[in-house]
Structure 1
Amino acid sequence: MSSQAAVPATATSHSAPDPEAQSGHAPDPSADRTADRRRWIALAIVMTAAFMDLVDVTIVNVAIPSIERSLEASFGAIQWITAGYALAFAAGLITGGRLGDIFGRRRLFLIGISGFTLASALCGFAVGTEMLVGARLLQGAMAAMMVPQVLAIIHVTFPPHERGKVFGMFGAIVGLGAVSGPLLGALLTQWNLFGLEWRPIFLINLPVGIAGVILGRKFITESRAEKALRLDLVGVVLATVSLLMLIYPLTRGRELDWPLWGHLSMVASPFMFAVFVVYERYKTRKDGSPLVELSLFRVKSFAAGIAVQLTFGVVMGIFFLVWTLYMQVGLGWSPLRAGLTGVPFSIAVSLAAGLSVQQLVPRFGRKVLQAGALTMMAGLLLYIWEADRYGMGISSWQMAAPLVVMGLGMGLIVAPLTDAVLSDVPREHAGSASGLINTTMQTGNALGLGLVAVVFFGVIDDARPTTPAAVGTAFADAFQHSLWWVAAVLGVIFLVMFALPARPKQHMESGALEDTADAEVGAPTGLPEQRQKQQSPTKTG
């Protein structure tokens, strides 16, 4: 029997109807239990894929010296190995999300994870820098096909009253992936398994990816947009060009000494985005198949959540890079020690993420996210104080306290934020919305990386250190200076969060209410979530 049988009407996908449901016979309880188990197995599969992508974003950084020695890579090639993935990933996310809406999220997920696994193998067996750069570009493009389907599959598979718990798990995975990449990369590189040096950081994806493909085919239920959509090719080109005009100069700007064309490209990118918006409005009126469903931005929770996501991406882009450079270059720590130092942060994020959505948000609403922003700010201020007090003699255990406070704050934000952004999104646009969420985070991350050149390297360049001791001191000073900027951005996030719904109640109540409404009106299983909410007496605020 189909896995849809155990899923309430709000959670079913737009695939073939259940014959038993159509015949009017009551479903077999044992089949319900099987379907429920399949749903949670599907969740484990897509979350593992999301974790694999999160780790792959950061795992390469600690292996760069080994790659440079092994392949005799130039500085420019090294930049492309790290930036190529991010560029291909960010440029393809919106398109990947929409392709899932059109052709099926399960299908695109399987294509993405298959291509990601193949690209990982090509990276691991690369014989030169050209092959490695090309494989990283392919890896990023395939991740852009895979990642938007993760949130979309969750959105259409689980009813509203279960999504809070599920997004709490997702937030924990995000926090774990954020610091697991450097630690895992350090371990695999240091162990030098089978004399392969850096190559296991890519080859480790192979068994995970193969298992994901096999299990995904069996346990993930297909879903797609209820209304027939067509791919907006002009929109794909305009969105990709707009993103690249902003992200590419930010990613490569400092290495290229901030050329004039880079500044002109960044200045022109908002105008290209404006052209994209105008065309999408035209496309909506013409045939109702735009690349981005602009009506999503009329949903208050989605529009506000996207704004928070963008600014939070800036925080992540600045902090994680300068933190890694501070420990490994400034303090002279090994990659393994730096990775282990981040373990308390990861644990704190995971704990707070699960607690926030399941226990706190239903009671306190957006105040939980705002408390998270303030808590992260408190952790940053404590970190600044400790870095200044202990200087170059600071130890890992002394960093534990501010990292735990920051991790708790981040956990209170990441899981509820994803839940808030997607909570009122119609199911037929889940893929497009998920692509926008990931694109916004990546764009914010790129903005943060661009700011690193100013708030971190600018301080070091002004100091002009000439001795190892002076370099360490300069990096420590630049780290503290950067944390003040991160704290300021978190202050902006705190204010933007006032635009989020004050107390979202749908995850506690709407599952039962919507099921009752469906039973009363005899609604089909594919009824869009937005229309169901109009039938429900409870309206989220």
Structure 2
Amino acid sequence: MSSETSMTSPERQSGPVPAERNTTVPDASAPVSAEADRRRWLALAIVMAASFMDLVDVTIVNIAIPRMRGDFGASTSAIQWITAGYALAFAAGLITGGRLGDIYGRKRLFLIGISGFTAASLLCGIAPNPEVLVASRLLQGGMAAMMVPQVLAIIHATFPPHERGKVFGMFGAIVGLGAVSGPMLGALLTEWNILGLEWRPIFLINLPVGILGIILGRRFISESKAPKALKLDIVGVVLATLGLVMLIFPLTHGRENDWPLWGFVSMALVPFVFAGFIAYEKHKIRKDGSPLVELSLFKVKSFAGGIAVQLTFGVATGMFFLVWTLYMQVGLGWSALRAGLTGIPFSLAVSAAAGMSVQKLVPRFGRKVLQAGALAMAAGVMLYIWESQRYGMAIASWQMAAPLIVMGIGMGLIVAPLTDTVLSEVPREHAGSASGLINTTGQMGNALGLALTSVSFFGLIDDDTAFGAPYAEAFRGAMWWVVAVMLVIFAVMFVLPRKTLPVEQREGAPGAGAASPEAVPAG
């Protein structure tokens, strides 16, 4: 499964909503010609296919990580960067990608993004060494940050208000399908070893989809821009990214270098970099009112707490999915296909619980549903630890089903309603930028969780060339970290609102609560 956004992926669900919500949309009362109607539905199919490709690419990678490591003889840090690099590049460019679309046109940025994503997929598929693969994944994440924010913006600008509910429902179904199918598709492509390419088809499969999306997108997607788009904040992007890299790079490489002094110095300087970022954002607000992050949002208690939940949830899922894959394939010696099949109960449980939480449970019980999800995930992980200890190296896939179903139910209760709950008390004029920030934070947490596997997982393995029992023992150690994070999430959720208003009463946040490409955990 994948590590970026994380479900088998639920963590890519609450997709980036455009940073600016002053969007020109069709008049709902205006007649729509047959040709225009056909074009907009074709445009919808194109952007949904791009979202599906992006989500599958995230969820498909983890399952092939052991094969990549064996093929390249890659270090543990390289393995972490193959997954974390994508999440970091995606997070760094997400809000800027949305603003670029507002300024220069959503269609234009979508086509640039999908073209770059397709080219990066080709580079990933032909990478001759880990360094090229990591660089290609960084490029792929950056291009996804150009492409993905345009999807909901194009839908919002193409369909009148009375049709968006149906469209967002279809969009959510595509997200769920991508979340469930990604890991299995990755397992099948890896096991089939098409043309002797081993894991490489997991990236090359993007080429026909991407090329078709470029050709049809040029013809059928209509251009749209925001009448009053926010300006770019390049300095803010640089400072935020620098702070993240100064934290993640030492965590990822420190263990292999015996934790050198420069790593601790780098991490110690991170608070000062982020302090500089905040100071610059305040200056940017006074200068032109276009900061990368709208700091006033953090005065909303539920939003600030929700950002903390999103960050820590990303840490938990990023850590779990990478460690879980290595446990099954390197620790237990299972094939990629068996590992992928083992995850099916988890995927189905996430999908079922997600639908029920949004439609029936959250409207009645509010934040208690999300808190129950956090406790269920913690309980599922502890059950997994117990089973792993009890059955040892002889544990079977069917024995993993119970903890995975409990975990899946917990994750589904959280991921589907989380974004809407966090946005519920945000002023409607800031709904777009707030949604983008939520998704950016989730990707940052994912990258941080992947980096922390150096300590929580690889740090428990004395010999990087080992396999079998040491990986199983390290898996149990890392899972206690996940349990601790889920309990922190449960506590932080007390700052979320007890109940949320129905979406229709918050029309200033179009698409709130709809599943979108970046909120499903990468599995």
**TM-score by structure 2 length?**
0.81
The aligned residue for residue 519 of structure 2 is none
Conserved in 1, the CA contact under 8 Å of 2:102 and 2:226? yes
Provide the alpha-carbon RMSD of the alignment.
3.7
The aligned residue for residue 507 of structure 1 is 503
The aligned residue for residue 4 of structure 1 is none
Provide, for residues 370-393 of structure 1, a one-character-per-residue CA deviation record: whole Å limited to 9, x for no partner. 121122122122212222222211
Provide, for residues 325-380 of structure 1, a one-character-per-residue CA deviation record: whole Å limited to 9, x for no partner. 21112111111111110011111111211221122222222122112112212212
Name the amino acid aligned to 1:353: A
Provide, for residues 163-200 of structure 1, a one-character-per-residue CA deviation record: whole Å limited to 9, x for no partner. 88877777776666566544323321221223333331
1:161 and 1:260, CA in 2 relative to 1: closer, same or farther beyond 3 A? farther
Conserved in 2, the CA contact under 8 Å of 1:168 and 1:357? no
The aligned residue for residue 486 of structure 1 is 482
Q: Determine which of 468, 471, 475 is the counterpart of 1:475.
A: 471
Deviation at 1:94, TM superposition (A): 3.5
Conserved in 1, the CA contact under 8 Å of 2:25 and 2:160? no
The aligned residue for residue 379 of structure 2 is 378
| Residue 495 (structure 1) aligned with residue 491 (structure 2) | yes
Alignment of 1:68-467 (within 5 A): 81-126=82-127, 131-150=132-151, 180-217=181-218, 224-423=225-424, 432-461=433-462
CA distance in 2, matches of 1:67, 1:49: 25
CA distance in 1, matches of 2:298, 2:156: 18
Name the amino acid aligned to 1:254: R
Deviation at 1:398, TM superposition (A): 0.9
Identity of aligned residues (%): 73
1:427 and 1:210, CA in 2 relative to 1: closer, same or farther beyond 3 A? farther
Which segments of 5 or more consecutive residues in structure 2 lack a partner in the other structure? Answer: 1-19, 511-523
* Further displaced range: 394-403 or 131-140: 131-140
Which of 1 and 2 has higher RCO (CA within 8 Å, sep 6+)?
2
Which segments of 5 or more consecutive residues in structure 1 lack a partner in the other structure? Answer: 1-11, 512-527, 531-541
1:368 and 1:62, CA in 2 relative to 1: closer, same or farther beyond 3 A? closer
Other structure's SS at 2:468 match: helix
Deviation at 1:441, TM superposition (A): 1.4
Name the amino acid aligned to 2:99: R
CA distance in 2, matches of 1:40, 1:238: 40
* Number of aligned residues: 491
CA distance in 1, matches of 2:160, 2:362: 17
Name the amino acid aligned to 1:403: L
Name the amino acid aligned to 1:234: V
1:221 and 1:309, CA in 2 relative to 1: closer, same or farther beyond 3 A? farther
Other structure's SS at 1:231 match: coil
Provide, for residues 306-339 of structure 1, a one-character-per-residue CA deviation record: whole Å limited to 9, x for no partner. 1110010111022112211211121111111111
CA distance in 2, matches of 1:270, 1:252: 20
CA distance in 2, matches of 1:241, 1:195: 40
- Whose helix proportion is higher, 1 or 2? 1
Provide, for residues 103-155 of structure 1, a one-character-per-residue CA deviation record: whole Å limited to 9, x for no partner. 34443233212210121123334456665444333212111222334455567
Provide, for residues 261-295 of structure 1, a one-character-per-residue CA deviation record: whole Å limited to 9, x for no partner. 22221221121111111111111111112222222
CA distance in 1, matches of 2:135, 2:120: 9
Other structure's SS at 2:461 match: helix
1:457 and 1:197, CA in 2 relative to 1: closer, same or farther beyond 3 A? closer
Deviation at 1:44, TM superposition (A): 5.2
1:491 and 1:127, CA in 2 relative to 1: closer, same or farther beyond 3 A? closer
The aligned residue for residue 27 of structure 1 is 30
Conserved in 1, the CA contact under 8 Å of 2:24 and 2:227? no
1:268 and 1:13, CA in 2 relative to 1: closer, same or farther beyond 3 A? closer
Name the amino acid aligned to 1:332: G
Other structure's SS at 1:501 match: coil
